[in-house]
Chain A
Amino acid sequence: MIPVTVLTGFLGSGKTTLLARLLRHRDMGRTAIIVNEFGEVGIDHDLIATSDESFVQLSNGCLCCNVRSDLVLTLGELAARRDAGTVSAFERVVIETSGLADPAPILHALMTDPEVAARFALDGVVATVDALTGVRALECYGESLRQVALADCIVVTKTDLAPAAGVEQRVRSINPDIPVLHVVKGDIAPSILFASAARAARLPAAGSPAAAMYWSAEASHSGGIGSISIVRHRPVHAATLALFVSALADNCGPDLLRMKGIVAVVEEPERPAIIHGVQHVYHAPAWLARWPSADRRTRLVLIGRRMRTSWVQELLDLLDAEVADQLARCARPQAGNAAAATTRTLDGA
């Protein structure tokens, strides 16, 4: 499987500068680049030096609006060219979205399109936010908010021009647990960037200040988008988890942008489940081999609009109570059947 990193960020936030600098790094030699520009005439490709044909420019509109027809076809074509040996055997794909893109449809395509999912795996989302104008962009533009909300890693750019504290605080009020890197003129090693953005690998260590922030049961809000965190001490049944994500998708609709967490499951007490969702599209739970720390509580973070901590907590509690009751009901007839069988045996005797 070829990992795909989505590089997003608002207009002028430094995506192309970051990508251009990354591409100078020798570790990026086996990376295919897909750049989406909003406009008829592409400019970004002139700013990005590439050494082979593993570079595709999409300039017929915003990628998030044409995601099926363009991104899916482009990835398929890249895979075919890789198989045929007409491009280098790239080991990673980086997709740079346009500054106005909503990353969600792109992530949905990467997660659910069968042809894409057969060859490519979403590795993470990097969002650039610049220290100079990032706070204002987050206040004024929903696209910027959504890019930060859906990110797995934030790169604060232009920290040589303005202090990063304000924008970092705002970013953390939207998406509290993710790594925030300060980068000047795109100067960062690809390995550090991709490792920071790898969504499957990242869980905050219990007891750390970051973990305390991540797992606090407080809601924070920024421009209508905020995050809530749920901590539950008792494990939930596996069936509850399926009902829970279904109910969230059904009832929160587009207000829920992102859900992620670690879940203690009754049926697998030694193996927590990791869940990731983007709007109504979820990865199947990934099971860790063991708990990463002594903290075995279920911890969930939901990012979106009008999210209610009390409703989400109660939904999870009520559904798990129903599932437990249903399992008890199912067990009862078996006991009854056993008793009836015993009676029949005795009658027969």
Chain B
Amino acid sequence: MLASNRSSIHIAKRFISISPAISKINTINNNLNNNSVNHKFKFSYENAKNKQINQNNLSLPENKLDFLNYNNNSSSSSISLLSNDEAKLIPSIVALHARLNLPKNYPFNTLVKSLTCPTNEFSNLSSNNQQLSILGSHILSFYISEYLMTNYPRLPISILKSAIDSYIGDFSLYDLAKNNWGIEEDLTSKLDKYLSNEPEIFKFGKLRYIRKVTNPEINVTKYSNDQNSNTFELSKAEAYANSVRSIIAGLYIHSNNNDLIIKNFINNHILSRQIDIESLFQFKESGKLLSKILKSNNLQPPVVKLISETGRLSSTPVYVVGCFSGENLLSTAEGCSLREARIKSFNKALKAWYLYKPLDTKLPSDEGFNGMFVDQGEKFY
């Protein structure tokens, strides 16, 4: 299950630069080329956490922090989802419950709710998964962050966020939901359902959402007579990811906030996926950065020494160099030229520094936790 090998998952590389000039040029180029990274960029897991619900249906107390007196006005008038007994009759829901090995007290209708994204029909907050997905994204975000920060305490924040996103971003969770959990999406129209004589409740066993159409087919004009319908549009990845977040939130609620159950579930389904964090790094001016790190730790500046070479006069020479700080060997690297070998040795030394991993770590949420390594912050300039 190598996430980095899948063509569907794109993990953006983060630039580590100590020169402000270079990062600016890079950002400008990125903006011109593919609009991928700019200072306002937010990862999909951050967007999921900070989503704001439509408060029109809520009656709010005067003190906004008085959470006991928040009321949902339209709960009685809205279309309610299925009862637990009705949900038990849906084969796909029962299969998903068994496949995920969910506890017996996890109600089947919570799974139905998790697969129901907001639509015109289910616009009420109590009947769709909007709030469940917000809760789920907070849970996921904390447990993945603490895992990464404990195991890789020196990761720069930009790499750390990329790594979190590659675990719990929209595309990763979409892959998990579709290819591992086997959640199906409901693509049939109402007419198809009518013609196939499908029982009414079967429509609840699939992921239902209003699909965002960004590129309509040629000569096809996107038509919508309801202006509000656009507010419920979701991309495919976002809808799948929200269903995963909602299922985890449901587990949290029905396990009476039991951290152990949640952690086991996240370990089994999310942290068990391998992410190649090393591939997220891309250094600019690695020699300067390494010199800066060594200087700030009162170590001698890096010196690159040639260890061995072969075929200097041939078309394919190989040089093996070592990067030393005083008498300490930081890294070795090989290359077709002295320059290539030197830069590779700097990069390897930097990765060895940033990917430092303490042994026998315990997470802050574990019992018997007695402190973790705290990094002093990434060096720049």
Whether chains A and B associate is: no
